Structure 1
Amino acid sequence: MHKTIKIMIIGITAIYISGCSFHASKYGASFENIETLKNYKGVQVAVKPFTSVKPGQSGISCRGAGSVETPNKESFESYIHSAFVSELKVAGVYEEQSEIILNGHFTEIDFNSNIGNGKWMFELTASSSNDNAVKISTRHEFSTNWVADKACQQVAQEFSPAVQLLIRDLITHPKFKELIAPVKTELVTKI
């Protein structure tokens, strides 16, 4: 009997210590982003896999209650890359073999789950094969609960809308048009 109780206590303690995971939802394309991208009709771009200062990170600890994770445990930068490519494809602006190749590097992908004031935070440098670059900082704010489990679930639920906002901030940036401009080639004529 004592062994059974000890095993149960050890099992419950292990579950409690390990916490649980809060999974973000799969990405849902933003109608607004797609309509904005359609304004670049005639432009075709490819996108290299995004990179991050914390490569491969697929979960971030949340209030000791567990971690907020991507739906398929892919890295955050991979999730965002896939979301961006999906919107480019729907808008008819993506071409895998394009001469215009976009890159993205994250110096920050993080959140806070402060009571009543949650926030996803992104710092992204997007660059192009045409030697242009754009730095953006996106903050997606939302309300959170004082109960850790509920707050962390809210953080997970807000990841997809935060990524939509990040993409919107990128494609509406005044220099985005330069980022996706065709590479200029100089004509050399013989005299």
Structure 2
Amino acid sequence: MEVIYCRKALLAVLLTVAITGCSTYAVPRYSVAADNVVTLRAVPNSGISVGAFSQAPIPNQNPNTIMCRGVGPIKTPDGETFADFVRTSLVSELKIAGVYAAGSPVQLTGRLDNIDFSSVSGAWNLGLTVQSSNGRSLSIAEKYEYSSSYFGETACNQTAQALMPAVQDLLGKLVQAPGFPSLLK
């Protein structure tokens, strides 16, 4: 009788561990920011193409996930790198603005210089350098603050949800920067 009880207890513990393993927090798909589109439509250009984006190494992480409080990783919606998430977000903005042209002689490439967050204070820190095929470049940074939580599960979910608007604001700073039109000549 005691052996059966021990086996049942052990099975219950193993099932609990298996079911409650770490969570994965997915960033929502990118949604175009209306202000960015309006700004892009007003910039004189003959079409913009977007090349590859790279990213600086994330210490002790891989390029498409960042661990949050040991609770679980934050990852992009399609498992792409964070740099590719920013790149495809920029392409979406350009397409909706009607200024994206894959074959354009003006091509923008980029480097995600830094990406990190604090789920305790509630802030994403992003740095991006965009280089034009004309030889000019522009570096921008964004500190996007959001509400966080003491509880790890909640804080990590809020952190994942905050990356998309952080990228919107980062791209907004890019397209509204005084030097942005010089990248398109």
Distance 2:179 2:43 in 1: 13
- Counterparts of 1:1-150 in structure 2, within 5 Å, are 1=4, 2-14=6-18, 16=20, 18-54=21-57, 57-114=63-120, 117-150=121-154
Distance 1:173 1:159 in 2: 21
1:43 to partner: Cα distance: 2.8
Q: Is the 8 A contact 1:41 1:93 kept in 2?
A: no
| Structure 1 residue ranges without an equivalent (≥5) | 182-191
SS of match in other structure, 2:99: coil
Q: Confirm whether residue 156 of structure 1 aligns to residue 176 of structure 2.
A: no
SS of match in other structure, 2:153: helix
1:54 to partner: Cα distance: 2.8
1:92 to partner: Cα distance: 1.0
Distance 1:61 1:50 in 2: 22
1:13 to partner: Cα distance: 3.1
1:9 to partner: Cα distance: 2.1
1:68 to partner: Cα distance: 1.3
Q: Which runs of 4+ in 1 moved over 6 A?
A: none
Distance 1:48 1:94 in 2: 12
Q: Is the 8 A contact 1:145 1:151 kept in 2?
A: yes
Compute the TM-score of the two structures, normalised by the length of structure 2: 0.89
Compute the TM-score of the two structures, normalised by the length of structure 1: 0.86
- Please list the CA deviations of residues 79-135 of structure 1 after superposition, one character each: whole Å capped at 9, or x if unmatched: 111111011011111100000010100121111111xx3111111111011000111
SS of match in other structure, 1:54: coil
Aligned length: 178
Q: Is the 8 A contact 2:25 2:75 kept in 1?
A: yes
Match for residue 182 of structure 2 among 170, 178, 182: 178
